[in-house]
Amino acid sequence: MLVVPAVAGLAFLVLPLAGLLIRAPWSTLPARLAEPHVLEALRLSLVSATVATACCLLLGVPLAWLLARVRFPGRRLVRALVTVPLVLPPVVGGVALLLVLGRRGLVGQWLESAFGVTLPFTTAGVVIAEMFVAMPFLVISVEGALRGADQRFEEAAATLGASRWTVFRRVTLPMVMPGVAAGAVLCWARALGEFGATITFAGNFPGTTRTMPLAVYLALETEPEAAIVLSLVLLAVSVVILAALRDRWVSTP
């Protein structure tokens, strides 16, 4: 009774990917990949996703630590707020970013007058949009790892004279490193595929803000074959990530 819908569900998930592989223009693939605008989009995507992930690590790991280790009033509320970007439509995130960081935005206005910095429609804007959408993945993963870690090791470090910062750097962080790595990979993958917030906040300018997902969407109208090739690249990246994290997610306990 349950097998039929189960198989249908599996087919529904797998068939589109199979279609992508079947329709791929394998013969012209290398030439297509070498086209300058493809390479440009690929490079921009990789760079912005990597920078966004690095920034997320800098801000997200301390945030995760705060949520996991420090008791403060309103902690539950803060945790809920952190997860909002997970469920928020990315386009809405982009609009929100524009309202705050745009040229007429609350913070953006000040950034421009004080530092002459404008974020929207720049590569920095792409990074900001990707961070906004991807950071919750990192925070949740790291917070989970921190909660799972045995805090008595931190106590042991304290009895050896380690300050809170040393404890974090030399004991806590190394012990939750698998969780941090998994969170970073997840965060990077989410940043790489980011579309809605990016196109809303950073626009679609070749070379500066046109990342892979934007290029796929655009190419679909003009040259579908190029869209398929770009999609294949993103699919390949996803498969690699899945393979890298298989022990964490795919294996059954």
Partner 1 sequence: MTLDARLVVTRPAFTLDLALRAERGKVVALLGPNGAGKTTALRALAGLSPLSGGHISLRGRPLHTLPAESRPIGMVFQDYLLFPHLSALDNVAFGPRCQGVSKAESRRVAAELLERVGLAGHAAARPRQLSGGQAQRVALARALAVRPELLLLDEPLAALDAHTRLEVRSRLRRHLAEFDGATVLVTHDPLDAMVLADRLVVIEGGAVVQQGTPGEVARRPRTDYVARLVGLNLYRGAADGGRVDVGGLLVHTSEQFDGPAFVAFAPTAVAIYRSRPDGSPRNLWQATIEGVERHGDNVRVHLDGPVTAFADVTPAAVADLDLTPGQRIWASVKATETHAYPA
Question: Where on the chain is the footprint of partner 1 (CB under 8 A)?
Answer: 150, 152-153, 155-163, 166, 170-171, 174-175, 177
Question: For partner 1, which is the closer residue by CB, 113 or 159?
Answer: 159
Minimum gap (Å) between residue 152 Cβ and partner 1: 6
- Contacts (Cβ under 8 Å, ≥6 apart) of 46: 192
Q: C-beta of 176: minimal distance to partner 1 in Å?
A: 10
Distance separating alpha carbons of residues 129 and 30, to the nearest angstrom: 31
CB 238 within 8 A of CB 49: no
Residue with tokens 């009895």: 159
124 Cβ contact partners less than 8 Å away, ≥ 6 residues apart:
none
Shortest Cβ distance from residue 163 to partner 1 (Å)? 6
Alpha-carbon distance of 87 to 251, in angstroms, equals 26
Helix axes 3-22, 224-244, angle to 10 degrees: 120
CB of 155 to partner 1, least distance (A): 5
Chain position carrying tokens 């398929």:
228
**33 versus 173: smaller Cβ distance to partner 1:** 173
CA distances from residue 222 to 55, 209, 236 in whole angstroms, order as listed? 35, 19, 23
Nearer to partner 1, 155 or 247 (CB): 155
Q: Smallest gap, in angstroms, from Cβ of residue 251 to partner 1?
A: 21
